[in-house]
Structure 1
Amino acid sequence: MTLPVVFIDGDQGTTGLQIHQRLQGRTDLTLVTLPAEQRKNAKSRAAAINACDIAILCLPDDAAREAAASIENPAVRVIDASSAHRTDPEWVYGFAQISAQQKHAIATAKRVTNPGCYPTGAIGLLRPLLDAGLVPRDYPISINAISGYSGKGRAGVDEFEGPDAAQATPFQIYGLGLAHKHVPEIQQYSGLSERPVFIPAYGSFRQGIVLTTALQQRLLPAGVTGASLHACLEQHYADSGFVEVLSMDAAKALSGLDPRVMNDTDTLRLMVFENAGHVMLAAVFDNLGKGAAGAAVQNLDLMIGA
């Protein structure tokens, strides 16, 4: 049997390096990367991408669009880890656990777009609740999230681990224009009818994410409680794999949320907290795992039938 040829375009960035490390020992595929002197050679990249079975694009958005446009071989399939195609209707969204149909859609797709790190947590929390009618689609959602500095890519790693690391800001809220590029993705795939507020931040730790969104019970349909929201998430993800819904008792026993607790795993941990008419939904996961490289490898495995 011929092994599928997988080409990583951009294997030197934070996501590309992680994907390469995960795949280099595999015996069920042939892994291809370009030598350093050819990485920026358009002809070499086009030749490699057109000769593979599945290309994984770990590139800036514009470069990912160029790479996808260079494909002439109709048999080539693509996983794009950038945000270039995430709201494009011609690309399948690579979050297998959001619906019963998504795993099959990914497995048979020609073009798969990897979810963003922050949207993975937001959509993972909201999509099942909106689909079940427990949270109105026009609810005024506000999302707060903090990521490790590797979420900035190589620039973030250089900032916090390079020669000027002592001058790095230990905590910084950004996206102050309230127009972060993840907002359309979150709205589209969660099913919100109104644009959510998204407030992201970086901290002085390498990787990991905590994402939260608060709900007021008085704005939810009658009878909806933290327990019913939790039960919905638990039922939705019961057999999905890679998503863990912490029991409400276990969540209540926590004294804080460490964004690093799921690091080096591909698991998205979801939690529900409730008190005095307020509910907080929370997600903790590795921005380089389920939020990036882990998701890409999960999608690859579905596409090659691993």
Structure 2
Amino acid sequence: MAMPEIKLTNLSYSYSNTGHAALHDVNLTVASGSYTAIVGHTGSGKSTLVSLIDGLLSPSAGEVQVGEVRVNSSAKRANLAKLRQHVGFVFQFPEQQLFAETVEKDIAFGPENLGWSAERVDAAVRDAMEEVGLSAELAKRSPFMLSGGQMRRVAIAGVLAMKPAVLILDEPTAGLDARSTETLLGLVDRLHQEGRTILLITHQMDQVAQYADQVVVMNHGRLVTATTPQQLFADRQLLADNHLGQPAAMKISQTLQERGIQLSPTLTLTQLASQLAAQLGGDEHNG
């Protein structure tokens, strides 16, 4: 699978019906194979940004480049469609877009519309179901008879069946319970480990801390910064200015440090637990 780099150059977007400027002069590079979290308050421009990357919207100014495909304000519909050959978009509450009478028919819809042969479509459906952890016996079942977490995996499988190199997910865990959230995030992380470029819109800072290697902060349609989670969460002023919180592990570690427990900066609960276990083990040994 060829892994395209994403490059946005002086990218702006205004809604033609209202004239509202949703995005202002954004310059951003997303490296091939990276895991990028996109954060910011409601209305900051996150969804507009990824809709331009996916070719759902055409730029008002500037350029979107995904691999060798370039799209600007004069782009034809065919050029926008070329973007979508590289990019898959999992919308918020994607299970609401399920419609077919069986799981396999729903997943097959996208590949069939690409004009693939029946054999290739069947193989893509099988592969996608396996990727998201859906057993083959569910293929003939109605997607509406499945659990919420399974329905969401069917919707994601429908995107993966088209073999996108870039996967965009808009708040993919919204409305899921803790177990389904963990399963879904584990799936996305595995897809990333296999080489896909991931763009994740999220309000959950723990997800940013645990999974992302780059975090993009948006505010009022402008790119504030593109940095690492470590640098973002270390900058309290930046967090406050953009209405962002800290991961739970950082909050807990700061409380512990205020009580005299010496800890290195940590972003995830797993890292924090390891530090505490090491200290406790050392204390027991010294005792």
Query: Structures share a fold, TM > 0.5?
Result: no
TM-score after normalising by structure 2: 0.25
Larger radius of gyration: 2
Greater relative contact order (Cα < 8 A, sep 6+):
2
TM score, norm. by length of structure 1: 0.24
More helix by share: 2
